[in-house]
Amino acid sequence: MNQIDQMMMTGNLAAAWGARLADIDYVPAFPITPQTEIVETLAKWCSEGSLNARFVTLDSEHSMMTAAGAAAATGARVFTATSSQGLLHAFEVLYTVVGWRVPLVLVNVSRAVASPITLEPDHNDVLAARDTGFVQIHAETCQEVLDSILMAYRIAEDPRVCLPAIVNLDGFILSFTREPVMVPNPEMVKQFLPPFRPAHLGFKASAPHALGTAVSGGATYSYFRHQLHLASINALGVHDVAAIEFERLFGRRYNVVEGYRLEDAEDVLVMTNAYASKGKAAVDKAREEGRKVGLLRLRMIRPWPADAVRHALIGKRAVAVLDQNLSPGQGGILFQEIAACLYHEPLRPRALCSFIGGLGGKNISEGEFLAIFEQTAEAGIRGNGIGPVLLYTEAEHREMEQLQFLAHELKTGR
Amino acid sequence: MLAIRFHGRGGQGAKTASRIVGTAAFLEGFVAQDSPIYGAERRGAPMAAFTRIAKEPIRERGLIAHPDVVVVADASLVGDPAAKVLEGVDATTVLFVNSPMSAEQFSAEVSVVGRLTTLNLTEIALQRLGKRGAISALLGAVAGRLIGLHQVSIHEAVARELAELGLPTSVIEQNQTVAKYCYETVPIVALETRPRRTVPVALHTPTYESPTRGTAGITVGPNSAIRSVGGWRAFRPVLRPDLCNGCWLCFANCPEGAITIKPDGRPAIYYPHCKGCLDCVEVCPTDALTVEQETAATNK
């Protein structure tokens, strides 16, 4: 029996299960909403003996990531988790551990970045780490969270990669959301995930080692950075092999992108993460009303799945990229990457449209999805892209005006 | 455009020398650009500085790959491949080396490309300034002479750059005097510039290598103990045990950890780790540490 029966569990619990099934050795931890339950669960399991790992609370996420990388450099299989401000606090260490070529899995539970402060999700946090060299996989469902952690270890530890990996899941709408999850049989997981035995790592007192040594004269630095890039590119192929094996053992197939009703779609909506479920529902609704639309969900963000994106989008009339992130002064982050990889395609879509939605977890209503499909269709007919369109309803605007009015009234007494 | 590349050890004044030439050229109405390059800031470590002067805006930056003049502040750098003293040097490049040997003697000992000239700046500094170490004004004067700048410009440039370093007026004036002497004494080699064709380069497409090769790591134990910096010395500290009071200040102040304390409580200098910064001599309260000049015979 390849899996234990289905259980209701949150995304956070699914992440903890992924780590437990991967038989991790070490968890350096630091709490932050909305991921804390992950490390609390792991702490509980370590304490009761159901997880044979060492659990240590560090003084900050910066220290936590340093400990994670250092432990992985000794050959330990390491897991940790953070969000948003915590990820940003660790930022210099993210680049550092990539340069150490230490495989480990970091779960990021996405949470919009301050200021203003919020606890709700968007993707500015995890996308800020795009250039660090971490492999990045973004999950839509709690099942995918668990499965992606197992796949992430397998990809990260492959000698053709040897890079740390981030698995992203949205705060609240996935982290605290319960849905049915199938937990794989630990014995089957062992078949999928062999023990971690890196040839290039392994500090011991008897075999001292220095990592991340200083270089000068850009040629040496360039060599090592090129190797990181090539390793990341290799992860595309390694992912596909791992996905085939995963399907064989567990019956679920993951690709670097997921197409939903794409084959005969005229216009395509591109999304990532948990709100893609809403996007799929919106596609179904639009189809009922006669629009031939589809959805492309990006699962792997780094390395960038250029071929898969091109293959999915060429020949389409119009594409709407719904970024749940914002680069102020430019627009949607994923929009730019998609535009770049389509540039030379003779059959690229006539209109590439940019929408910004869901910032700070703002709901994307059915009405907003309808507006996206309408505006994208018009753009496709005109042959000109639009955007970035900042999704914000009239009702929300009136609410905001009301708040501003109240604030002014309270301040001035008028 | 003229491009002068300086090679020195941190603390010798090669960077200041590059600025002296830059300022002197600026005062003469040229467009000038000067900049240093170094790794970890450490006295004695090899570094380079670049000065470009031209009549029109300078559109190059950073490394001087094709120097018209190379100025070497420390002859021991010529044999150090990491210092890349001879990079881009061809038969027309003017090469100045701070050395007690004449150009003929030097070329007999060390095979170098380029048109060589030498002057013993270290000895001149010792005799006329009473100082070892920073020879920035002397290097600047020599470099300025070799590219045809006027002595008055260098005179003024020395004043400005040394004032920026916070040196007192009397020291500045001494440096100006000795700089003038070097300007007048250095054997001249005429500049020869000719237009250069761009040489096409072959690009290499990197391929993925296994992490045992592709990871920036060193698989060996701590090895700074076997790294010798003795070759950096122009002068060495020598202990007179009869004058030593066992205060340990030399041991505490040595930046290289080259001094240890023997069971009798007296310091011992491990010369392979001594870079000749002479901080120990400066802090010794009883003058128990004296200074001897390195010669080829004593310095191994």
Q: Is B200 exposed, middle or buried (0-12, 13-18, 19+ CB in 10 A)?
A: exposed
Q: Is the pLDDT of residue B299 over 60?
A: no
Q: Examine residue A90 and state whether it is found in any structural domain, yes or no.
A: yes
How many CB atoms lie under 10 A from the CB of residue A85? Answer: 16
Task: Check: CB of residue B211 under 8 Å from CB of residue A198.
Answer: yes
Same domain, A124 and A236: yes
Taking CA–CA distances from A230, the nearest residue in chain B reads B208
Using a CB-CB cut-off of 8 Å, the residues of chain A touching B218 are: 209-210, 213
Task: Check: CB of residue B32 under 8 Å from CB of residue B49.
Answer: no
Same domain, A336 and A361: yes
Q: What is the CATH number of the domain that holds A392?
A: 3.40.50.920
Nearest-Cα distance to chain A for B126, in Å, is 34
In this prediction, the residues of chain A whose per-residue pLDDT falls under 70 are: 1-4, 414
Q: Examine residue A71 and state whether it is found in any structural domain, yes or no.
A: yes
Using a CB-CB cut-off of 8 Å, the residues of chain A touching B219 are: 207, 209
Determine the longest span between alpha carbons in chain B, in angstroms. Answer: 66
Q: Which of A97, A98, A100, A101 to mutate to test the interface with B (most CBs of B within 10 A)?
A: A101
Distance CA A335, CA A322 (A): 8
Banded pLDDT at B296 (limits 50, 70, 90):
low
Give the residue ranges of DSSP H helices in A22-160. Answer: 36-48, 61-73, 84-89, 91-99, 124-128, 142-157
pLDDT of residue B89: 94
Q: Are strands A267-272 and A293-298 parallel, antiparallel or unpaired?
A: parallel
pLDDT of residue A5: 76
| Listed residue (B289, B4, B296) closest to B144, CA to CA | B4
Q: Are strands A351-356 and B31-37 parallel, antiparallel or unpaired?
A: unpaired
Same domain, A69 and A144: yes
Domain boundaries, chain B: 2-185, 227-293
**Considering its fold, how many domains does chain A have in total?**
2
Banded pLDDT at B300 (limits 50, 70, 90):
very low
Using a CB-CB cut-off of 8 Å, the residues of chain A touching B46 are: none
Task: Check: CB of residue A302 under 8 Å from CB of residue A134.
Answer: yes
pLDDT of residue A56: 98
Cα distances (angstroms) measured from residue A169 to each of A144, A177, B267: 9, 11, 62
Give the residue ranges of DSSP H helices in B39-150. Answer: 103-109, 121-124, 136-146
| Listed residue (A325, A100, A374) closest to A213, CA to CA | A100
Same domain, A315 and A246: no
Q: State the DSSP code for A10.
A: E
Q: What is the CATH number of the domain that holds A137?
A: 3.40.50.970
Same domain, A107 and A242: yes
Q: Examine residue A406 and state whether it is found in any structural domain, yes or no.
A: no
Q: Which class is domain B227-293?
A: alpha beta
Q: Which of B42, B47, B213, B215 to mutate to test the interface with A (most CBs of A within 10 A)?
A: B215
- Assign 3-class secondary structure to A347-410: CCCCEEEEEECCHHHCCCCHHHHHHHHHHHHHHHHHCCCCCCEECCCHHHHHHHHHHHHHHHHH
Phi, psi of A119 (to 5 degrees): -105, -5
Contact A227 B209 (CB under 8 A): yes
Nearest-Cα distance to chain A for B63, in Å, is 10
Taking CA–CA distances from B222, the nearest residue in chain A reads A208
Any B CB within 8 A of A199 CB: yes
pLDDT of residue A43: 98
Secondary structure class of A66 (helix, strand, coil): helix
Same domain, A275 and A164: no
Mean pLDDT, residues B38-62: 90
pLDDT of residue A247: 98
Non-local (6+) Cβ contacts of B151 within 8 A are: B141, B144, B145, B180, B183, B184
Mean pLDDT, residues B140-149: 97
Placement of tokens 């005179």 in the chain: B155
Any A CB within 8 A of B207 CB: yes
Q: Examine residue A206 and state whether it is found in any structural domain, yes or no.
A: no
pLDDT of residue A213: 83
pLDDT of residue A38: 98
Same domain, A167 and A305: no
User: pTM for the complete prediction?
Assistant: 0.90
Q: pLDDT tens digit string along B168-215?
A: 999 999 999 999 999 999 999 999 887 888 889 999 999 999 999 999
Q: Is the pLDDT of residue B43 over 90?
A: no
Same domain, A225 and A303: no
Any B CB within 8 A of A214 CB: yes
Q: Judge if B2-185 and B227-293 fold alike in CATH terms.
A: no
ipTM of the complex: 0.86
The structure tokens listed for A149 are: 């952690």
Q: Are strands A79-82 and A105-110 parallel, antiparallel or unpaired?
A: parallel
Secondary structure class of A192 (helix, strand, coil): helix
Same domain, A78 and A218: yes
Same domain, A272 and A348: yes
Q: Examine residue A130 and state whether it is found in any structural domain, yes or no.
A: yes
Q: Examine residue A405 and state whether it is found in any structural domain, yes or no.
A: no
Per the structure, the complete domain to which residue A89 belongs is given by 3-198+213-250
How many CB atoms lie under 10 A from the CB of residue A273? Answer: 26
Q: Examine residue A407 and state whether it is found in any structural domain, yes or no.
A: no
Contact B216 A215 (CB under 8 A): yes
Any A CB within 8 A of B214 CB: yes
Same domain, A227 and A275: no
Cα distances (angstroms) measured from residue B163 to each of A221, B126, B159, B180: 37, 21, 6, 17
Same domain, A103 and A225: yes
Q: Which CATH architecture has domain B2-185?
A: 3-Layer(aba) Sandwich (3.40)
Q: Examine residue A204 and state whether it is found in any structural domain, yes or no.
A: no
What residues 34-63 of chain B have any CB closer than 8 A to a CB of chain A? 39-40
Banded pLDDT at B295 (limits 50, 70, 90):
confident
Task: Check: CB of residue B52 under 8 Å from CB of residue B60.
Answer: yes
Q: Which residues, in sequence order, are bridge partners of residue A260?
A: A295
The structure tokens listed for B250 are: 């030399």
